[in-house]
A and B are shown apart, each in its own frame.
Chain A
């Protein structure tokens, strides 16, 4: 007893140390029993995250104030640029919708089951573990918002990680570049599958791809769906380096698509549906309809706005048979009966205008008697 008293400091040190070692051993022995440490974690997180949450909200408020009131320079130009971009994308969308439709019909024929992300929950990152050895972030949504462990967390750019622990108002998200993380990955072009893991330096690597396979830098990496957490096909990143790894495997280093080091807003996938495609009988379509779908939109000016609009005799009949559900807006002819457009030779010129980055404005003309049309044309030619 006297010895203990004489070495009081050392004794207390050893007691505290041994207590922690025993506690650690219990946790390692029963890794699934999270209840024993849950209370400690709950209190610690309740202490830290509200402050982080308040800081993030205050920062967002200041940033909004700056963006919405003080930083509006160049908005008009940006708006114009976005409108141009929108036109391009609508044209691209039509093309892709055709391809997707074809793929879906094939999937239905082959009785494929596919996964749909049917529900997501937007969340904001309010903190991190603060340690380089534990790449983990906290989001401001928890059990109250329907978040559960093992839900996938993504951004529009790519995969971020998965939920590991859930608390009433917050949740822990383990990022894909953590050393203990592992998700099923697939190279998009070669369809090679492997397991994506984090490295000590915070990078991500695809493991278990044989050395005799050909992997090229620049190839996209997507989720394979094999881990049953991430739906198949979500973007993970791009291959940046391929080198020989241990044994007969390659080291495939990947640059993440999402900015993992400064992720601020995320989407938690709360519901994934799996269903088999059904063949929906389509109404037969004419070749002209399909062509019309591929055309860009035509802006119709209201007649009252420009009653003296210049006319032209080089008119074509309106495309009146386009289905209303298409995103291209090529069915404008159908919505304005008895009107004609000056779009020379219909589709081709319009498409070219958009492809040049300067969409041609379609002129709307009132139907006129033949002689009057001729006069106008002569006037235009003389000009």
Chain B
């Protein structure tokens, strides 16, 4: 596993074709909504989180990460019965931290991508729980037994997702 430190000057801001920029998050939200009604185990994945993280890290733009996280999170909130903003805030933080981290560290390595996704998944769940209970006054509890397994599975899925997006990105 290699995590090397790079300077901000070395890091390039990456862009994606607009069809990928809009289509991938939309597809992630649709799959997250549709597949669990037939395959319940699928709900252990958090595709919108993975897309937020992958886009934020690959773009290396904190502002882009903030807006990517906020928009995906708010769309995800709209599909739940909770107030808007619970997923929005969590994913905004993940988007900002992910893109900021990518400016400081080289996260091209699959091992570091896995580790980073694993950590961010736990961070996301922690922020989500804090916002839901502390701000939205929802009497919500997390299934803590699921958390490590879900973090590992999401981390594993993130690696091919990073690789797939790596092929379509356009350096500027």
Show the binding face of A for B, using Cβ within 8 Å.
8-10, 12-13, 16-17, 20-21, 23-25, 27-28, 37, 40-41, 43-45, 47-49, 51-52, 55-56, 125-134, 136-138, 164-165, 172, 174, 178-180, 199-201, 261-264
Q: In the docked arrangement, what's the CA distance between A309 and B141, Å?
A: 74
Residues from chain B with Cβ under 8 Å of A179 in the complex: 138-141
Known pairs A180-B139, A200-B142; A37 contacts B29 (CB<8 A) = no
Residues from chain A with Cβ under 8 Å of B142 in the complex: 133, 200
11 A–B pairs (Cβ distance < 8 Å), ordered by A: A13-B92, A20-B70, A20-B88, A24-B131, A47-B26, A52-B34, A128-B34, A134-B80, A138-B33, A172-B81, A179-B139
Contact B44 A132 (CB under 8 A): yes
Residues from chain B with Cβ under 8 Å of A136 in the complex: 79-81
How many residue pairs between the two chains, A and B, have CB atoms under 8 Å in the bound complex?
157
Residues from chain A with Cβ under 8 Å of B24 in the complex: none
Q: In the docked arrangement, what's the CA distance between A201 and B139, Å?
A: 14
Pairs of residues from A and B, 8 with the lowest C-beta to C-beta distance, nearest first: A44-B78, A130-B32, A134-B80, A24-B85, A9-B62, A27-B83, A261-B40, A127-B33
Q: In the docked arrangement, what's the CA distance between A43 and B84, Å?
A: 13
Contact A130 B33 (CB under 8 A): yes
Q: A9-B96, A13-B63, A262-B37 are in contact. List 19 more A-B contacts (CB 8 A).
A: A9-B100, A13-B62, A13-B66, A13-B92, A21-B89, A24-B86, A37-B78, A45-B78, A48-B30, A48-B75, A49-B33, A51-B34, A125-B37, A126-B37, A130-B48, A134-B79, A172-B81, A179-B138, A262-B40
Q: In the docked arrangement, what's the CA distance between A37 and B79, Å?
A: 12
Contact B78 A131 (CB under 8 A): no
Cβ 8 A contact of A41, one of B26, B78, B88, B141: B78
Q: Mark B43-55, 1 if CB is under 8 A from A, else 0.
A: 1100110000000
Most buried by B among A12, A131, A261: A131
Residues from chain B with Cβ under 8 Å of A199 in the complex: 141
Q: In the docked arrangement, what's the CA distance between A275 and B125, Å?
A: 50
Residues from chain A with Cβ under 8 Å of B47 in the complex: 130
Cβ 8 A contact of B37, one of A8, A137, A164: A137
Contact B81 A129 (CB under 8 A): yes
Contact A24 B84 (CB under 8 A): yes
Known pairs A48-B33, A133-B132, A262-B40; A40 contacts B78 (CB<8 A) = yes
Q: In the docked arrangement, what's the CA distance between A273 and B63, Å?
A: 57
User: Could you tell me the distance in whole angstroms from the C-beta of A342 to the nearest C-beta in chain B?
Assistant: 54
Residues of B122-160 whose CB lies within 8 A of A: 128, 131-132, 135-143, 145-146
Q: In the docked arrangement, what's the CA distance between A193 and B27, Å?
A: 44
Closest residue of chain A to B146, judged by CB? A132
Contact B80 A28 (CB under 8 A): no
Q: Judge whether B82 is part of the interface by a CB distance below 8 angstroms.
A: yes
User: Could you tell me the distance in whole angstroms from the C-beta of B160 to the nearest C-beta in chain A?
Assistant: 20
Q: In the docked arrangement, what's the CA distance between A263 and B43, Å?
A: 15
